[in-house]
Structure 1
């Protein structure tokens, strides 16, 4: 997992480097945020590696071994944002009310309204996406899982897909399927490289500690 995480971090950095020189001011702010996330992760790993290397060196001084050499560390350079802007041509009253309840963390009420919106407008995938997210918030992971799998084959929208795969990764973590979760987070990042949360969730999986990030939602 360690090599995969740094491969993804390097991939993210490559995308930033490629885009930075031609980015407008708003885009540069977004890229700077992504750089900050990558730098924070890189610094954390460097600090942990230095502590490990110090401990290893002390042991080597007291217990000389022919094959115990100091390892070299390779030089690795280092939302609900996807849901803030809804571009659907028609947002029903039920959907708007559901959003209001969702922002107020009243998820049972939000589910009721999003269900109405989905029944009234079956093609409104945002309603089903919010339904899935609302079920996740109250711990109904099986129901959320069902909605996400319903959504995925029906859209090519990268942000919707990335949101779904990132959420599915969170669900897999609750089942302690960290390898599967790791793959889902990587897929989410590839679908939407502007969202750094999947990379941060990959780090949580690799260390088996921390808090998964999902926009404004947190899963312990």
Structure 2
């Protein structure tokens, strides 16, 4: 599992290194955001490893203090520094909290806890979000598919899966997940994103009148969601090619 993850991260970093000297402006900013995500993933892995090593070292120390319980394994040589390193990690938690983390948004995390979804569901969603932010959509779809198999009614998983499929131009599959999301959720913003995306799918197929209806539903669901009105205007003007906003920017803020 970790070998695959690090191989993917290394491939993405190699791609960024090749592109970085040749771009500037908005494209350079986009690469910087991807670097931030990679750094956050790396920091998170290191932190969890150090905390585990500290816990493992404490366990071996407890065994040594109980002579009646034979210790059959040697303490790994690197655990001696784990506790000290972990304290450094804990001391910098305030700074790390400001760093972009590849994890579920706080509101979504509370919902996962409230609905008692398996912990593995949250893990797969977190990975899927991380890949989504890196625009590695096929990897994101794989992780989110696992989350949905575990928790078929998980709204967050359907939301990210649907948007991932939109970026992969798998319109029919995306439409199914957005319809499921709309049927499940009471969140105004998520309903707006769902209706807006359904409008985009209809617009792609040049069903512009139906697309406009969906954009109006999106605006009614959440008037603060600006993409729906922009898309509605685009459909009404119909000046050549359509320039549509799927709403994915709402998922990476």
Shared fold per TM-score greater than 0.5: yes
Query: Could you list the per-position Cα deviations for residues 75-106 of structure 1 after superposition, in whole angstroms to 9, with x for gaps in the alignment?
Result: xxxxxxxx966432346111000000000000
Q: Which residue in 1 is equivalent to 2:182?
A: 152
Q: Which runs of 5+ in 1 are unaligned?
A: 1-82
Judge conservation of contact 2:200–2:211 (CA < 8 Å) in 1: yes
Q: Which residue in 2 is equivalent to 1:33?
A: none
Q: Indicate the SS of the match to 2:195.
A: helix
Moved over 6 A (4+): none
Q: Indicate the SS of the match to 2:186.
A: coil
Give how far 1:121 is off. Answer: 2.1
Residues 148, 215 of structure 1: alpha-carbon distance in 2 compared, 3 angstrom cutoff: closer
The structure carrying a bigger helix percent of its residues is: 2
| Paired residue total | 135
**How do 1:166-205 residues align onto structure 2 when only pairs under 5 Å count?**
166-205=196-235
Q: What CA distance in whole angstroms lies between the structure 1 residues aligned with 2:148 and 2:206?
A: 31
Matched, 1:115 2:145: yes
Q: Which runs of 5+ in 2 are unaligned?
A: 1-103, 114-120
Residues 216, 89 of structure 1: alpha-carbon distance in 2 compared, 3 angstrom cutoff: closer
Higher relative CO (CA 8 A, sep ≥ 6), structure 1 or 2?
Answer: 1
**How do 1:58-73 residues align onto structure 2 when only pairs under 5 Å count?**
none
**How do 1:18-33 residues align onto structure 2 when only pairs under 5 Å count?**
none
Residues 84, 165 of structure 1: alpha-carbon distance in 2 compared, 3 angstrom cutoff: farther
Q: Which residue in 1 is equivalent to 2:63?
A: none
Give how far 1:124 is off. Answer: 1.4
Q: What CA distance in whole angstroms lies between the structure 2 residues aligned with 1:165 and 1:215?
A: 10
Compare CA radii of gyration and give the structure with the larger one: 2
Query: CA RMSD, aligned part only?
Result: 1.8
Q: Which residue in 2 is equivalent to 1:89?
A: 112
Give how far 1:131 is off. Answer: 0.7
Give how far 1:142 is off. Answer: 0.5
